[in-house]
């Protein structure tokens, strides 16, 4: 009689099972850590890239508008003020329309108006070559120099920049232009702007000192404007809050304690129409 012997298959012991589970757990944690690290690194890279793009775009926009200050086209009547330093009033164009849609948007430029820094307002005349405000709204032909406007003042284009938090709590650069009914958001992530004005004290066409708006002694002697912009990332990046200080001008340093990336962007604009 043939006897069949059944072989007994040994399974994992409880200890071996526990060891396997622990090893698997370590592997899972390691893979998760790598994934989270890569994701955070990608977020940081993307936010830094966006921050750099925003900063350059803001400087370009401000520079483009400010460099037109005091442009008078072919008009023999100079712009009385290069900068908005008081109330703005509308004028009647040759077709009977108003040159400024909403004069209440404009107030005198301010030095350190709260946590958002300075404001600035610049003026230039509109013609067939230059006829848009900071919001890219176009001055109608009847209001322009050479457009048959009833008053030379009708050709003045006003531009006013400030910073505020929008409805989502994001700091944004705002622009109010002659042809806008409300101030427009033109850039996100802008927390603070500072302007210092280069005064030519000896009429040689070069700025001898840079001062804030409260310290300018002769506005007609301003030949350049220094711009400093503090821009932050749109999303928090750091895992914990970090306190950092950012110097925008000789008398303005901003300190923040949070998880956002920030950078200061600066540029000096020559006022070519007054040199």
**Cα-based distances in Å from 175 to 88, 89, 159, 164, 239:** 15, 18, 7, 11, 34
Rounded to 5 degrees, φ, ψ at 187 are -165, 140
Residue in 231, 237, 224 with CA at minimum distance from that of residue 268:
224
Q: Please give the structure tokens belonging to residue 132.
A: 């848009």
Please tell me whether the overall predicted TM-score, pTM, comes out greater than 0.85 for this model. Answer: no
Structure confidence at residue 8 (pLDDT): 55
pLDDT, tens digit, 9 for 90 and up, residues 48-73: 999 999 999 999 999 999 999 988 87
Residue with tokens 């008009």: 75
CA atoms of 221 and 33, how far apart (whole Å): 60
Q: Which residues of the chain have pLDDT under 70?
A: 1-12, 16, 30-41, 43, 75-80, 113, 149-151, 275
Cα 113 off chain centre by? 16
Q: Is 237 exposed, middle or buried (0-12, 13-18, 19+ CB in 10 A)?
A: buried
Structure confidence at residue 25 (pLDDT): 76
Structure confidence at residue 34 (pLDDT): 65
Residue with tokens 């970090």: 242
Query: Hey, which bits of 140-251 come out as E strands?
Result: 156-165, 171-177, 184-188, 190-199, 209-211, 222-232, 242-249
Structure confidence at residue 121 (pLDDT): 96
Q: Please give the structure tokens belonging to residue 64.
A: 């483009």
* Kind plus residue range of the DSSP H or E element containing 39: helix 14-66
The DSSP call for residue 134 is T
Q: Is 194 exposed, middle or buried (0-12, 13-18, 19+ CB in 10 A)?
A: buried
Sheet arrangement for strand 190-199: 209-211, 190-199, 222-232, 262-270
Residue in 54, 46, 40 with CA at minimum distance from that of residue 232:
54
Structure confidence at residue 45 (pLDDT): 85
């Amino acid at each position: 009689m043939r006897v069949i012997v059944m072989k007994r298959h040994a399974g994992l012991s409880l200890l071996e099972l526990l060891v396997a589970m622990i090893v698997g757990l370590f592997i899972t944690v390691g893979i998760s850590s790598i994934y989270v690290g890569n994701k955070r690194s990608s977020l940081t890279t993307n936010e830094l890239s966006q921050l750099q793009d925003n900063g350059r775009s803001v400087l370009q926009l401000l520079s483009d508008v400010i460099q037109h200050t005091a442009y008078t086209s072919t008009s023999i009547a100079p712009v009385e003020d290069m900068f908005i330093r008081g109330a703005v009033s509308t004028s009647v164009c040759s077709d009977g329309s108003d040159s400024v849609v909403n004069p209440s948007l404009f107030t005198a430029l301010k030095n350190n108006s709260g946590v958002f820094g300075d404001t600035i307002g610049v003026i230039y005349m509109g013609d067939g070559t230059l006829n848009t405000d900071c919001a890219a709204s176009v001055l109608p032909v009847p209001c322009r120099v050479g457009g048959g406007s009833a008053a030379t003042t009708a050709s003045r284009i006003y531009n006013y920049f400030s910073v505020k938090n929008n409805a989502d709590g994001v700091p944004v650069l705002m622009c109010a232009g002659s042809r806008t009914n409300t101030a427009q958001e033109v850039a996100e992530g802008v927390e603070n702007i500072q302007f210092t004005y280069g005064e030519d004290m000896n009429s040689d066409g070069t700025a001898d000192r840079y001062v804030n708006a409260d310290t300018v002694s002769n506005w007609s002697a301003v030949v350049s404007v220094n711009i400093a912009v503090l821009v932050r990332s749109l999303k928090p990046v750091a895992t914990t809050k970090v306190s950092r200080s950012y110097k925008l001008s000789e008398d303005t340093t901003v300190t923040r304690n949070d998880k956002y990336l920030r950078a200061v962007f600066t540029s000096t604009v020559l006022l070519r129409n007054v040199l």
